[in-house]
Structure 1
Amino acid sequence: MLSATGIDLFYGPSHAVRSVTLALRRGEAVAITGQSGSGKSSLLYCLAGVLPVTSGHVRFEGRVLGALDDDRLSALRRDRFGFVFQYGELLPELTLEENAALPLRLAGQRKGKALATAGAVLERLGLGDLRGRRPSQVSGGQSQRVAVARALVHRPAVVFADEPTGSLDSVNASAVLEEFLALARSQGAAVVLVTHDPKVAARADRHYAMRDGSLHVREREVS
């Protein structure tokens, strides 16, 4: 469904991603670990079409991302991809329900229908009673659950998660990760998960290590 073939990324003279080849199947979670500066986040953003690769190709459902114009690439990221970031990145002026509904609203869905769909996802994540609150009125773990809801509310094909539990304590991190992966798998979404935490990576179906821009032999596979 999503594949990278011999991709390289340079930042000036710095070789951030080196000849990476990777294929992602529908419904599976792939974890990429590595030290800060190893290139793991750069690889994630290349796979998501946010960073254009210097050489090689990234394909999604047969389409080469680098061959798409800005409008089509933006529409693809909006409609078919979901994103979860380390600090949630919720909009403080919106309610939790409105934050979760953003992908649907950006795609042109009517407000009432979008909020109803977002509310159902928040309910599944245990936040139904909090949907009218704003991000400043809930905990970090609750905010990150909203970020998960926002990433999955439009039933994307792929979710890209960059340190999605990095700002949480161990108890909240475990709970959010479990809910995130369970919801993604129930929808058939593939997940690319960048993390520094081997316990988080162990929950994925495949686990790769990134060192000096290179993606190394799979370290672990979990049934």
Structure 2
Amino acid sequence: MNTPVVLSAKGVDLFYGETPAVRNAEISLSRGEIVAITGQSGSGKSSLLYCLAGVLPVARGEICFEGRPLGALDDEELSAIRRERFGFVFQYGELLPELTVEENAALPLRLVGQRKSEALAAAGEVLDRLGLADLRQRRPSQVSGGQCQRVAVARSLVHRPAVVFADEPTGSLDSNNATAVLEEFLCLARSQGAAVVLVTHDVQVASRADHRYTMCDGVLTAEVREVS
């Protein structure tokens, strides 16, 4: 049985001034699918990610989320989708220093109006799965880099989004922490049925994806895996 496509892009172009950043990109993701985009710095991979997330408006082409063209939505509708249906993980976590670990993890639920007690309880469950049960009341400055990134993973998945956008999610970590965080992130995302767009320069990280793409000078190319 085919899984419905949750996010797709067709013929997408993006320019910075007159400089092309993304050229005629096409990609699609189904529920629970993990797609990795690799490429050198400046290749356009992060720009494409932010187009897919509706953060950057495209010059040409169409991006659809659950069959709805993002370009046809107004700012309020786009913001609601990013807030309620999308999750984000960034290279350096981007946690709020004034909040505790559990408050950071609960933030997406608070932003959609869930009561604080319920949001913290839900965040606690995800933090437990990531081995952070004893760190809930600490501030980001009081935990390690690997632990901060696990909190960022919890925050990206606590509201059970349809799609998670991960931009170099392990790029700031040493190899041991990177492997552990990636394993926990992808395992949790798969268990929730979230699709993941994973941007990375690390081919080992990309190898964990269901499908891989490479990007060079704004051109996206699907990799064909050899069948052994």
TM-score bracket, shorter-length normalisation: over 0.9
Q: CA RMSD in A?
A: 1.2
Task: Indicate conservation of the 8 Å contact 1:30/1:207, yes or no.
Answer: yes
Equivalent residues in 2 for 1:97-176, closer than 5 Å: 97-176=102-181
Structure 2 Cα separation of the partners of residues 20 and 5 of structure 1:
6
Q: Partner residue of 2:3?
A: none
> Which structure 1 residue ranges, 4+ long, deviate > 2 Å from structure 2?
219-222
Task: Indicate conservation of the 8 Å contact 1:208/1:220, yes or no.
Answer: no
Residue 76 (1) aligns with residue 81 (2): yes
Residue 33 (1) aligns with residue 38 (2): yes
CA offsets 1:128-153 (integer angstroms, 9 cap, x no match): 11000000000000000000000000
Q: Partner residue of 2:93?
A: 88
Q: In structure 1, give the amino acid aligned to 2:124.
A: G
Structure 2 Cα separation of the partners of residues 91 and 194 of structure 1:
23
TM-score with structure 2 setting the length: 0.96
1:217 Cα deviation from its structure 2 partner: 3.0
Q: Partner residue of 1:24?
A: 29
TM-score with structure 1 setting the length: 0.98
Q: Partner residue of 2:18?
A: 13
Q: In structure 2, give the amino acid aligned to 1:214.
A: V
Structure 2 Cα separation of the partners of residues 16 and 30 of structure 1:
20
Distance 1:18-1:221 versus aligned 2 partners, 3 A rule: farther
Structure 2 Cα separation of the partners of residues 192 and 220 of structure 1:
18
CA offsets 1:95-136 (integer angstroms, 9 cap, x no match): 000000000000000000000000110000000110000000
SS at match of 2:164: strand
Equivalent residues in 2 for 1:187-198, closer than 5 Å: 187-198=192-203
Task: Indicate conservation of the 8 Å contact 1:209/1:219, yes or no.
Answer: no
SS at match of 2:107: helix
Structure 1 Cα separation of the partners of residues 116 and 17 of structure 2:
44
Match of 2:223 among 197, 204, 218: 218
Task: Indicate conservation of the 8 Å contact 1:18/1:213, yes or no.
Answer: yes
CA offsets 1:46-105 (integer angstroms, 9 cap, x no match): 000000000000000010001110001000000000000000000000000000000000
1:218 Cα deviation from its structure 2 partner: 1.6
Structure 2 Cα separation of the partners of residues 132 and 119 of structure 1:
11
1:219 Cα deviation from its structure 2 partner: 4.4
Identity of aligned residues (%): 78
Which structure 2 segments of 5+ residues have no match? 1-5
Q: Partner residue of 1:43?
A: 48
